[in-house]
Amino acid sequence: MPHFSRNAPCLNRFAALALALALGGCAAPPPQPRFNAPEGTPTATTCPKAVASIARCLSGQDSAGAYYLIALPNQWNGHLVLHAHGGPALGAPKPERAVEDLERWAIMVRAGYAWAGSTFRQGGVAVRSAAQDTERLRQIFVTQVARPQRTILHGQSWGASVAARAAEMFTTTADGKRPYDAVLLTSGVLAGGSRSYDFRTDLRVVYQYLCNNHPRPTEAAYPLNIGLPADAHMTQADLQGRLNECLGLDKPASARSPEQQRKVKVITDVIRIPASSIHSHMSWATFHFRDVVQNRTAGASPFGNEGVYYRGSGDDAALNAAVLRYPADPTALTRFAQDTDPTGAIPVPVLTVKGIHDPTAFVELDSVFKATMDKAGTSGHLVQTFTNHSGHSYLSHPTYPTLMSALLRWVEQGDKPTAASIASQCTAFESRFGKGCAFVPDYQPAPLSNRVPDRKRP
């Protein structure tokens, strides 16, 4: 990995920002590739409580309609973390989303990094447009706020697919430099839309086999792989009510009826998810699937379960004979994959971290991402790490500064880390950020097919 010379951070003199950062002399930033519309100046805003005592904040709305929030530590180390959030949420963007993200990732600001996050211009499963919004925010930061020494692109959960695509889409600025120096992908959904959501299709059909209430026999039937019809009026509360009715998810396991307990066990054994995550995955298989089909793939579904043989139910023959089957539409699948599937063509260092027991983004997804980068010939740019955590949205305070430090050493000194070296370095961060190191250096994820059954694909 080539070394990169440091450039002193430079704060543009916008009096309205009133940012008294103790930075060095100011030279004009290099020319950047620009989107068509001009961008307004970020304005000073109140920081969220989590960073209010240690940072100054700016906010704005970009030319495409995405809201953004920027935090500049009082003791800035000169580096920028450009954040791509998870989810995604459905509906119009709200500025509160960026506030929530900064509060969750306050550890980056505590560790001295500037932080910038976009809400994205639209809700729903649109990866390339979210990548564009992320790059637009980088340009706003560089041209109107400060020129960082290094820019680390951070993607969390679904946002990891956004960051991976952004790192492939935007590889060179107008002056021939890299817009991103490295990429950090945490708890990532990294098998692309064409494979990451297969198990949610499986969940939907197995649930219907067991419960037959989504839709009910008295309601109009529709293909379950479309999520919901475009004109359906179901709400999250409605969905939760049906899940509780059939599975008793609103009760402790001991308070569920024997039949509810049996059905929950079938789902957890066949789909291999904990009972606590059934609702969140069913929500995706309902509302997000509808978003994909209606807004991304022209009314046809890219999701299917043809050829799947389900195991673990106690009567697999009966389950497989009765469960509904749907083919993925070839055109829809191609269109969805073009938007959501990483190619692996990332020209800068990439670090990933995943909790081995992540109930939302399975650890086996990372085996697909490794194969993707192997196929692209960029496996030398990738180091994967795994921890003994069971969470998804956040692992632990010392985990992230450890990874950031390792990335910067890799970029600036050519010192490519290993999973073992990162694990050994983590404990040094616990004295500052608290306990929580749980790296498992020797862990290697199994193939995704070990957890999610293979299926016929167009």
Residues 6 or more apart in contact with residue 267 via CB below 8 angstroms: 203, 206, 207, 210, 247, 273, 275, 278
Cβ atoms 9, 23 nearer than 8 A: yes
Task: Single out the residue of 355, 8, 10, 413 nearest to residue 182, CA to CA.
Answer: 413
Question: What is the C-alpha separation between 126 and 131, in angstroms, rounded?
Answer: 9
The pLDDT assigned to 7 comes to 40
CA angle 165, 111, 55 (to 5 degrees): 95
**Structural contact between residues 411 and 445, judged by C-beta atoms closer than 8 angstroms:** no
Segment among 14-23, 122-131, 417-426, 447-456 with least mean pLDDT: 14-23
- 329-365 pLDDT, tens digit per residue, is 999 999 999 999 999 999 999 999 999 999 999 999 9
Q: Which two tokens stand for residue 104?
A: 């969750």
Token pair listed for 153: 């692109």
Instruction: Report d(CA 153, CA 135) in Å as an integer.
Output: 10
Under the banding of pLDDT at 50, 70 and 90, the label for residue 36 is low
**Residue pair 383/417 in contact by the 8 Å Cβ criterion:** yes
Task: Tell whether omega for the bond before 347 is within 30 degrees of 0, i.e. cis.
Answer: no
* Cβ neighbours for 36, distance < 8 A, ≥ 6 positions apart: 63
User: Which domains are assigned to the chain?
Assistant: 10-192+341-450 (3.40.50.1820), 199-337 (no CATH)
pLDDT digit string (tens) for 127-183? Answer: 999 999 999 999 999 999 999 999 999 999 999 999 999 999 999 998 889 999 999
Q: Is the pLDDT score of 77 beyond 60?
A: yes
Nearest-10 crossing angle of helices 198-211, 236-247: 60
Residue for token pair 């039937």: 221
CA 430 → CA 79, 90, 147, 427, distances in Å? 21, 37, 30, 5
Q: How far apart are CA 385 and CA 132, in angstroms?
A: 27
pLDDT of residue 38: 84
Q: 271 phi and psi, to 5 degrees? A: -85, -20
Distance between CA 55 and CA 71 in Å, rounded? Answer: 6
Q: Which residues contact 103 (CB under 8 A, 6 or more apart)?
A: 48, 49, 50, 51
Residue whose tokens read 């309609």: 65
For residue 207, which of 147, 249, 163 has the smallest C-alpha distance? 249
> What's the rounded mean pLDDT across residues 83-100?
96
What is the helix (H) or strand (E) element at residue 131, kind and residue range?
A: helix 127-144
Three-class secondary structure of residue 94 per DSSP: coil
Which pLDDT does position 37 carry in this prediction? 73
At 8 the pLDDT is 37
Calculate ∠ Cα 420-349-180, nearest 5°: 140
Bridge partners of residue 55, in order along the sequence: 73
Residue 34 has pLDDT above 60, yes or no: no
Q: Tell me the H-state helices in 254-398.
A: 258-271, 278-283, 289-291, 316-322, 330-340, 365-376
13 pLDDT more than 70: no
Contacts of 120 (CB under 8 A, 6+ apart): 66, 85, 88, 93, 126, 129, 130, 133, 134
Confidence of residue 439 (pLDDT cuts 50, 70, 90): very high
The Cα 198–Cα 189 span in angstroms is 12
Q: What pLDDT is recorded for position 174?
A: 85
For 381, residues 6+ apart whose C-beta sits below 8 A from its C-beta are 1, 346, 347, 348, 349, 350, 373
pLDDT at 250 over 50: yes
Mapped onto helix, strand or coil, the DSSP state of residue 271 is helix
Distance CA 119, CA 96 (A): 9
Arithmetic mean of pLDDT, 305-309: 98
